Structure 1
């Protein structure tokens, strides 16, 4: 099941933009591509353009959830979204990051995978949600 994630994301998934957050500016739709690194480890390349700056306090979160997005399957993978000399990233400038992340050992036949970028106030700047499972 785990090694099928990139295949499933390409062949048997639907993706959605972020759910409404109540913010005056809706979060941007992220773009993501995936590659297998090892049995339970994958590489994600995530990009998007935001209306707010990305700072060293901004986080990229990759989470797996079941039960229609309500129940976490495992602890999320959390990364600093901005590091090094390219930080901060100004509003309107494309954000692009590649990270390696851990996949839960046991996934059901149908689950959601959510990628989001949030600032230090937990405001979601951008996200994408994949519904992975049977056709």
Structure 2
């Protein structure tokens, strides 16, 4: 019988310690404890959802900025290529028909400022002579 009393005493002390630690951690009322647990879970869920939404918005913003930057850069490159093609066509149009495009060196170095000045001058193209011809006569059978 002594063993039964000792085991009952040890179990009751253990149960009491568990109840004291639970009441210290969670409060006295068990229904209030359940309500607080559910409320805490709900609040933590809202906070996590808000963080996920903020991350998605920030990611979308960064992607939008990067795509705009890449599109603008591609557009500028296309404009530069177009301008380069137009400049090359203008240089080809300015060359006389008999030259190959490489002028013969005269021995004196040419400064870049002089080249830029010559490139900026307007070039007048000689107009083609008008031929005195009669308008075509329609064909009749």
Greater share of helix: 2
Greater share of strand: 1
Which structure has the larger Rg? 2
